[in-house]
Amino acid sequence: MPVSIAASISVTPLSPVLGGRVEGVDLRRPVDPETARAIREAFLARQVLCFPRQRLSADDQIRFCGLFGRADSDYKRPGGIDSGYSRGVMLVSNVRKDGKPIGNLPDGDMQFHSDGSHRECPYRATTLYAIRIPSTGGDTLFANLYAAYDALPEATRARIEGLRVRNVYLLDATHRDVMDRTEAERLRSASHPVARVHGETGRKALYVNRLMSREIEGLPPAEGEALLAELIDVTERPELIYAHRWTPGDLLIWDNRCVNHARTDFPADEIRLLRRYTVSEAA
C-alpha cells in the first residue's frame, strides 16, 4: 500500500527486502525542498528507488543526482566511438556502430557487484534511466547487504570484525573468471572493511561481492578464499534479493554502500539501452 511521505509523493514497497516505487513527482522539473528531503529519507530507508514513467534528458538526470551529491561518472568511450553524449555519462547498451559497442557492459548477464568498490572513495549511489528495453531478460537484481550482515551468525560477525577485502575492477568485465589472479594484481583496486559502516545510517553492511572482491587481506590464501566464498554466498541468498523488470521511462537510484546489483541475460538480437550517472561519495 502506498505511503504518503510528502505533500506530493508516495512510496510503495517494491519487495519485502528492499526497494520503493515513488509516485507523484515529475523529475523534468526541480523538486521543492520538502520533496527532496522526503526522497532522500526514502532512499536511506528503502535502498533502491524507482521513479516510473519519467521522460528525462541527461541534464534532468544530472539535476536529480544533485539531490544526493555530485554526478560523478568517468565516461568510457569504447573504441573511440563518438556516441553524441558528453563526458560524465555512461551508456549501458548492446547497440553497436560499425561493429563496435556505443556504450559499456553490452551483452549477457553480469555478476553481483557494487559500483565503485574498487575506489578508495566508492560511489555513493548509481542512477540508471531506461531508454530501450528488450522484451525479456535484462533485469537488474538488487541484494540487501544490511540484511546479509544481519543474517550472519554471531561467531562470523566477530570473525570478520576488523578484516578488510580487496576489490578490483576491469572495464566491461561481467564475470569474475575473466580476471586471473596475476591480472587482478595489476588492476585498479582498493580495500574496504568487510563489515562496512554506512556513513549516514550507521548500520553495518556486508561489503563483499562476487565480481570484484578478490581477497581478504591478512589471511592465508586458502582460509581467505573460503571465508570470502562463504560471505558472498550469504549476500546472494534469494530471500535478500529483489529483481527489477525494467519499463522504458524508469529511473532507478540505488545505494552502493549497502546494495549489490547484477544483471540477467537478454536476447542478443534485441536492444537494451540505459543511461547511467553515478553520485560521488564525497559531496
Among candidate residues 194, 199, 170, the one with its CA nearest the CA of residue 182: 170
For 104, which DSSP code? B
Phi (first) and psi of residue 199, to 5 degrees = -70, -20
Cα–Cα distance, 15 to 12 (Å, whole number): 9
Q: Which residues pair with 260 in a beta bridge?
A: 143
Cell numbers representing residue 106 in the block: 553490452
Q: How far is CA 251 from the centre of its chain?
A: 13
Phi (first) and psi of residue 126, to 5 degrees = -125, 140
Cα–Cα distance, 192 to 63 (Å, whole number): 30
Cα–Cα distance, 64 to 62 (Å, whole number): 5
pLDDT single digits (tens) 158-186:
999 999 999 998 756 677 665 555 554 55
For 258, which DSSP code? T
Cα–Cα distance, 174 to 108 (Å, whole number): 8
pLDDT at 108: 77
Cell numbers representing residue 2 in the block: 502506498
pLDDT at 196: 97
Alpha carbons within 13 A on the beta-carbon side of 55: 0
pLDDT at 179: 56
Q: Which fold has domain 3-135+244-280?
A: Double-stranded beta-helix (3.60.130)
Cα–Cα distance, 102 to 85 (Å, whole number): 10
Q: Which residues pair with 192 in a beta bridge?
A: 165
Domain residues of the chain, as ranges? 3-135+244-280, 144-235
Cα–Cα distance, 29 to 59 (Å, whole number): 11
- Which residues in the chain land under pLDDT 70? 1-7, 73-88, 105-106, 171-173, 176-187, 281-283
Taking a C-beta distance cutoff of 8 angstroms, is the pair 56, 28 a contact?
Answer: yes
For 29, which DSSP code? S
